[in-house]
Amino acid sequence: MITRVWSLWLATLATVLLAGCGASEKPVESIRPVKLEQVRVGGASASVFAGEVRPRHEADLSFRIPGKLIAREVDVGARVRKGQVLARLDPTD
């Protein structure tokens, strides 16, 4: 009987020791939650319209100037005066 108890303790000890030798599991990467919001316009009475933005006055005609533009002296939308240089063309053409 003592041999049987001794064998049972030895088997339990061996099981515990061998269980500790197993490969450790890699920690599972937790998925980080993301909060989503849907963009909404003002209230329930808001309307959506599609269209084009066009200038008030348009010129139907245009022309080409021979030469290469080497300098632009003013920016788009800038105020200009009569006689002010707007751009310079390459004189080689």
Tens digits of per-residue pLDDT, 29-51? 788 787 777 777 665 555 667 77
Q: What is residue 23's predicted lDDT score, i.e. its pLDDT?
A: 67
pTM, entire model: 0.29
Which tokens hold the place of 14?
């061996």
* Mean pLDDT lowest among 5-9, 19-23, 37-41, 84-88: 19-23
Lookup: tokens for 73: 């002296």
Core vs surface per residue 51-64: b (16+ CB within 10 A) or e: eeeeeeeeeeeeee
| Type of residue numbered 70 | I
Q: In this structure, is the dihedral angle defined by the CA atoms of residues 36, 39, 43 and 45, taken in order, positive or negative?
A: negative
State the Cα–Cα distance between residues 16 and 11, nearest whole angstrom: 9
